[in-house]
Amino acid sequence: MKRYLLFAGSFVVLFAVVFFVAEIVSGLYLTTLYTPNVDAAWSSSGLMQEASMISSSPSFLMLLFIGFIAAIGAYTLTEKLAAK
């Protein structure tokens, strides 16, 4: 039971950390690639609706990859701590 709780806890923590790091890295990468164009933004603003909401969710493959990395880390951590 102790190993299961250790694995589950470390999986959740590692998943959150890896997800946060991936979000920060991808955000920084996209920010470096962004080049603003004021003229295009101004001309396209007339075509926008009164209220617009931007929403997105992470892709399934990205979450699967992060879960896989977190599971490997949690398994490794569980094996090292359980051996002591």
- Rounded Cα distance, 31 and 24, in Å: 10
Q: What percent of the chain stands above pLDDT 70? A: 90
Backbone angles phi, psi at 50, to 5 degrees: -60, -50
Contact 81, 2 (CB under 8 A): no
pTM: 0.61
How confident is the model at residue 3, as a pLDDT?
A: 80
- Rounded Cα distance, 65 and 71, in Å: 10
Buried/exposed 53-83: b ≥16 CB within 10 Å, e otherwise: eeeeeeeeeeeeebeebbeebbeebbeeeee
Q: Which residue has the tokens 């790091």?
A: 21
pLDDT digits (tens, 9 = 90+) for 23-60: 899 999 999 998 888 887 777 777 777 666 667 777 88
